[in-house]
């Protein structure tokens, strides 16, 4: 009799545990937490935690568990970790992806396993074409570059040198800038590409100086911007009268304050700035600053924060179901983000958003990308 009762209790416990296990929804988050792009991983981790602390850690009555993995910025590692997350941990969603090659490496796994993949950071336009399961919550380089070229045209800039990091997003930025600027009658004096392995800006900055443009248009991935600005100043290009026009990656909110006066006056085009005056952004920046001892969120952070909201909104609609149902639900999501209006284009799974121009100014003793009047 005792034995039977014990067995029944054990069965009940085991099935309760099984339901619990089945009920938790897992998100596999893969980002660089070490290496030269660790600042991206830190922003993503901080923002995912902030999102869950403000919005709770369950959706549709099920617990949402985030499994964070560090790929060190190495594509083979990203692919292996994503594979393990899908096969062993049975995640419902893959998310993160700090650099384009890391997103490219993972796309076939999303397709084969039919796992939705939310690209929060990597920004080459072609990423969303690599798998029908990819949805983007960050931005693309063409989105933010075209308004930079239009700013140059509108402000009477006649001669530009372009300088970009020599890989996916840099080539997107160069192509978009050159096409838009030339179509409006501008002259591209030279187009320079800096290698990603061992980036030394010195010889390239010398060529910019010799070409004597009014403006140098720059894209380098976040993390590399501070090095660029330092060398730009040290080599006297500002004194030679050359201005920097950039995508917001170069004057990234995470690193901007440490760049010092070298960054003052830089014009950047981007979808996010910590200085956006909307109520939603003010609250977001205050929440982040409170949680992380006066640090500031940047565009990678907002890509992660909004990426979590996209996943939560999708899961609410599917009542926790993943796979194709979650993908379809996420295609129809739109909301008011700290960056402004955020929507997913259902045809391309690409983020739709506003892009603004900013100027680096000192506000209350700190450097900010202050939005220019439209």
Q: Which residues bind ligand PHB (CB under 6 A)?
A: 99-100, 122-124, 168-169, 221-222, 249
In the complex with ligand PHB, which residue's Cβ is closer, 113 or 124?
124
In the complex with ligand PHB, which residue's Cβ is closer, 123 or 178?
123
In the complex with ligand PHB, which residue's Cβ is closer, 96 or 221?
221
| Residue 373 C-beta: closest distance to ligand PHB, Å | 26
In the complex with ligand PHB, which residue's Cβ is closer, 224 or 242?
224
| Residue 220 C-beta: closest distance to ligand PHB, Å | 8
In the complex with ligand PHB, which residue's Cβ is closer, 41 or 169?
169
Positive or negative: CA dihedral 350, 353, 358, 362: negative
Cα–Cα distance, 32 to 28 (Å, whole number) = 13
When CB distances to ligand PHB are compared, the closest residue is 221
| Residue 216 C-beta: closest distance to ligand PHB, Å | 18
| Residue 352 C-beta: closest distance to ligand PHB, Å | 18
In the complex with ligand PHB, which residue's Cβ is closer, 168 or 314?
168
| Residue 230 C-beta: closest distance to ligand PHB, Å | 17
In the complex with ligand PHB, which residue's Cβ is closer, 164 or 344?
164
| Residue 199 C-beta: closest distance to ligand PHB, Å | 13
| Residue 103 C-beta: closest distance to ligand PHB, Å | 7
| Residue 249 C-beta: closest distance to ligand PHB, Å | 4
Query: Phi, psi (5° rounding) for residue 355?
Result: -120, 140
In the complex with ligand PHB, which residue's Cβ is closer, 142 or 186?
142
Per-residue three-class SS string for the chain: CHHHHHHHHHHHHHHHHHHHHHHCEEEEEEECCCCCCHHHHHHHHHHHHHHHHHHCCEECCEEEEEEEEECCCCHHHHHHHHHHHHHCCCCCEEEECCCHHHHHHHHHHHHHHCCCEEECCCCCHHHHHCCCCEEECCCCHHHHHHHHHHHHHHCCCCEEEEEEECCHHHHHHHHHHHHHHHHCCCEEEEEEEECCCCCCCHHHHHHHHHHCCCEEEEECCCCCHHHHHHHHHHCCCCCCCCEEEEECCCCCCCCHHHHHHHHCCCEEEECCCCCCCCHHHHHHHHHHHHHCCCCCCCHHHHHHHHHHHHHHHHHHHHCCCCHHHHHHHHHCCEEEECCEEEEEECCCCEEECCCEEEEEEEECCEEEEEECCC
In the complex with ligand PHB, which residue's Cβ is closer, 172 or 214?
172
| Residue 223 C-beta: closest distance to ligand PHB, Å | 7
- Count of alpha carbons within 13 Å of 219, Cβ hemisphere only? 30
């Amino acid at each position: 009799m005792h034995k039977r009762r014990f067995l029944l209790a054990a069965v009940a416990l085991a099935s309760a545990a099984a339901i619990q296990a089945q009920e938790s929804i897992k998100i596999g988050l893969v980002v660089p937490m070490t290496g030269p792009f660790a600042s991206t991983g830190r922003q993503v981790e901080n923002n995912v935690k902030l999102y869950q602390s403000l919005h709770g850690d369950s959706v549709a009555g099920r617990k949402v568990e985030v499994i964070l993995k560090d790929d060190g910025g190495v594509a083979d590692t990203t692919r292996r970790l994503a594979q393990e997350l899908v096969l062993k941990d049975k995640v419902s969603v893959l998310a993160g992806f700090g650099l384009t090659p890391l997103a490219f490496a993972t796309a076939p796994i999303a397709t084969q396993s039919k796992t939705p993949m939310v690209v929060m950071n990597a920004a080459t336009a072609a990423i969303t074409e690599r798998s029908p399961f990819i949805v983007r919550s960050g931005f693309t380089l063409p989105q933010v570059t075209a308004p930079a070229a239009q700013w140059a045209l509108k402000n009477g800039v006649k001669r530009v040198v372009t300088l970009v990091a020599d890989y996916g997003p840099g080539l997107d930025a160069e192509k978009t800038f050159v096409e838009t600027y030339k179509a409006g009658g501008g002259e591209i004096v030279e187009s320079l590409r800096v290698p990603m392995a061992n980036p030394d800006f010195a010889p390239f900055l010398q060529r910019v100086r010799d070409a004597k443009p009014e403006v140098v248009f720059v894209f380098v991935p976040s993390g590399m911007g501070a090095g660029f600005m330092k060398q730009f100043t040290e080599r006297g290009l500002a004194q030679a009268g050359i201005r920097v026009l950039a995508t917001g990656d170069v004057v990234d909110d995470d690193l901007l304050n440490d760049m010092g006066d070298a960054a003052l006056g830089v014009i950047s085009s981007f979808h996010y700035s910590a200085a956006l005056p909307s109520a939603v952004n003010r609250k977001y920046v205050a929440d982040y600053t409170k949680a992380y001892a006066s640090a500031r969120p940047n565009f990678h952070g907002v890509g992660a924060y909004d990426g979590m909201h996209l996943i939560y909104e999708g899961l609410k609609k599917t009542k926790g179901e993943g796979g194709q149902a979650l993908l379809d639900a996420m295609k129809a999501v739109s909301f008011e983000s700290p960056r402004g209006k955020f929507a997913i284009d259902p045809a391309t799974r690409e983020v739709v958003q506003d892009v603004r121009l900013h100027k680096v100014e000192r506000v209350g003793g700190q450097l900010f990308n202050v939005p220019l009047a439209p």
